[in-house]
Amino acid sequence: MSTLRFGVMCAGERLESAFAASIDELLKIEGVELALLIVNAHPPARSSMWTNLKRLASLNGTLWAIFQRLFPPERLSCYRPRDMSAVFAGVPRIRCRIIRKGKFSEYFDPGDVERIRGYGLDFILRFSFGIIRGDILDAARYGVWSFHHDDESKFRGRPPAFWEIYRGEPTTGAILQRLVDRLDAGIVLQRCTIRSRAWSYGENLNAIVWATAHMPARVCRDILGGCARYLEAPPSRTEAPIYRPPNDLQMLRFLIKTWSAWVKRQVEGVLLVEDWRVGVVEAPLHAFLRPGFQPKVRWLPNGKPNTFRADPFVVTLGPGARKLLLEEFDYVADRGVILELDLDGCGAPTSWPRTAIDDGMHMSYPYLLEHEGHVYCVPESWQRRGVSMHAFDRGQLRWRPGVPIIKDFPVVDPTVLRHDGLWWLWGTSGDDEPDSKLFLWYAPDLWGPWRPHPGNPVKVDVRSSRPAGRPFLHEGSLYRPAQDCSRTYGGGITINRVTCLSPTEFREEAAVHVEPWDRKYPSGIHTLVGDGALTVLDGKRVVIAPDLLGRRLTHKLLRLARSLGSRTRREPSR
């Protein structure tokens, strides 16, 4: 297709900021145009005082109503109203009358449906109206698209992003769906999954709504590229219960849960620190594709107090000689540097660790690759908002200064691979859900020019997005290790099987999940790198650090003071 025409169901000239961002992303695509506004002629009015009083007197939903009054959704950045008059200027609009049937179902007047059909729309985005049913669902070529900010396989109904916290779910999901007559059980066009913010309903809702803003544009790019086969998929067969706003007892339990989670988070943030350590396994990386594989780990020595070592990468330099690079993070300096040490053929250290790369800012994830007889390191330094590549000088045995290959993007855990004649680079963003949103670039040469994949973000899934080591080939398939941060940062690794990798498409599926198995470091594993018959990894445990207690408490109090100060300064403008 050369062009896509879409309509927007809205209440007028103002739109929630995240939904407005979805339209912005659509209009950036060449060949996509906003062709019609479908306006609700009779938008729902605010509840009357009498209705509110009756709800309060019923003692059923009173606490939820009070909560909504104290913390209105409009205060969240995702729902903050935005004036769209400039974007909507000159766009035809139809004011539609709704026919209500039953308690919730809304049907469009047949005449309005025919008028909408006359605009030849390819799809309609729903940002207004209620539970719509009937002929309007087929008034555009690809139907009516709507967000559902929950995982429809577990939660249908409302309020969005609430019941995950109530039920103790580690993740919160969302979908973009093509609506059908069945509630929240449409044709799933896109999915995303983030870690639940159990300590704050507002943060959880804000995060999941923003995480979906790119979805309509992603589908449009797939349609224009001829790779949107999921449009013809059958509707979801979910049998999940349909939830309604919580009653007072449920709301009381919810408040206790969130307050407890908030207190736990504050206490752990002061008392506990993550202690990572690098280990060696005498087995090839593909052995981890066997479910339940739990080899013996030989842990390497740790560094000085109040530091940890993680993110190991290894490469063979010659017969019986390997080089290991890793991150050493200093809690006092609050940054990491890249260390190196030499290993023998069995992975035993043959030198003391020494500084390899240190540019004065935080560095980690020293990704190693070989190309045309040269060894390169592509470390993470996302605060510099780019990716640089360091070449190893075999003559002087040192790493040369980095050469930028990607600029103006804060890439986290850059992972580079040559596959099917192209170079590929995976990473997440330091500015936007770094554990969930996966971005992809490709280039004809290692030195570029690097182009962003048109599907970016190509994936939003906290369970299997953020890179966790070097991709590898096994029995003709490409596998990509990724972090599972659904319960905690670096809690486990999902090894994905890449099923499609091209300049227009990217798809992968989970092949196996690797949980930490060593009793010494039972809290996490987030790097898995192979080199022949050897694999290096890291493990996490959580410990109390008395030396850091005062520093961390001071830091937390200063952050709280700055937050209260910024709120005070904003107050007069409300």
Dist CA 558 CA 571 (whole Å)? 20
224 and 300 share one domain: no
163 and 91 share one domain: yes
Check residues 507 and 563 and name the one with the higher pLDDT. Answer: 507
Residue 572 lies in a domain: no
Tell me the percentage of the chain whose pLDDT exceeds 90.
81
242 and 333 share one domain: no
- Choose the final residue of a domain: 246, 261, 294: 246
Dist CA 309 CA 317 (whole Å)? 22
Dist CA 58 CA 372 (whole Å)? 75
484 and 339 share one domain: yes
**DSSP-H helix ranges across 315-371:** none
What Cα–Cα distance (Å) separates residue 379 from each residue in 116, 357, 416, 438, 535?
A: 53, 9, 11, 17, 19
185 and 49 share one domain: yes
Structural domains counted in the chain: 2
- Average the pLDDT over each of 48-52, 91-95, 220-224, 391-395 and give the range with the smallest value: 48-52
Coil vs helix vs strand at 572: helix
Residue 56 predicted with pLDDT over 80? no
What Cα–Cα distance (Å) separates residue 115 from each residue in 32, 95, 96?
A: 21, 11, 10
59 and 19 share one domain: yes
Please check whether residue 112 is in contact with residue 129, taking contact to mean a CB–CB distance below 8 angstroms: no
238 and 299 share one domain: no
What H or E segment, with its residue span, contains residue 265? helix 248-271
Dist CA 574 CA 571 (whole Å)? 6
Over residues 231-255, the mean pLDDT reads: 94
What Cα–Cα distance (Å) separates residue 449 from each residue in 376, 386, 407, 453?
A: 17, 14, 11, 13
Residue 58: band (very low, low, confident or very high) from pLDDT cuts 50, 70, 90: low
215 and 306 share one domain: no
Dist CA 473 CA 478 (whole Å)? 5
Residue 568 lies in a domain: no
What H or E segment, with its residue span, contains residue 172? strand 171-178
CATH no. for residue 390?
A: 2.115.10.20
Residue type, 180: V
Dist CA 140 CA 38 (whole Å)? 12
> Which residue's structure tokens are 């769906």?
177
Owning domain of residue 317:
275-542
Dist CA 290 CA 479 (whole Å)? 13
**Nearest-5° angle of CA 125, CA 131, CA 137?**
50
- The contacts of residue 392 (CB under 8 Å, 6+ apart) are 323, 374, 375, 376, 377, 398, 399, 400
Over residues 519-545, the mean pLDDT reads: 95
Residue 45: band (very low, low, confident or very high) from pLDDT cuts 50, 70, 90: low
> In the sheet that 534-544 helps form, which strands lie side by side, from edge to edge?
298-299, 272-281, 534-544, 528-531
430 and 305 share one domain: yes
Q: What is the pLDDT of residues 344-369, one digit of tens each?
A: 988 899 999 999 999 889 999 999 99
Residue 254 lies in a domain: no
CATH no. for residue 116?
A: 3.40.50.170
Q: What is the pLDDT of residue 570?
A: 45
344 and 408 share one domain: yes
- Closest to 271 measured CA to CA, from 550, 555, 549: 549
Coil vs helix vs strand at 441: strand
Residue type, 425: L
- Closest to 520 measured CA to CA, from 279, 308, 273, 270: 279
102 and 161 share one domain: yes
Q: What is the pLDDT of residue 547?
A: 82
Q: What is the pLDDT of residue 573?
A: 34
Q: What is the pLDDT of residue 299?
A: 96
**DSSP-H helix ranges across 348-491:** none
Residue 268 lies in a domain: no
Q: What is the pLDDT of residue 185?
A: 87
Residue 376: band (very low, low, confident or very high) from pLDDT cuts 50, 70, 90: very high
Residue 12 predicted with pLDDT over 50? yes
Residue 570 lies in a domain: no
Residue 166 lies in a domain: yes
Dist CA 228 CA 221 (whole Å)? 9
203 and 288 share one domain: no
Q: What is the pLDDT of residue 551?
A: 79
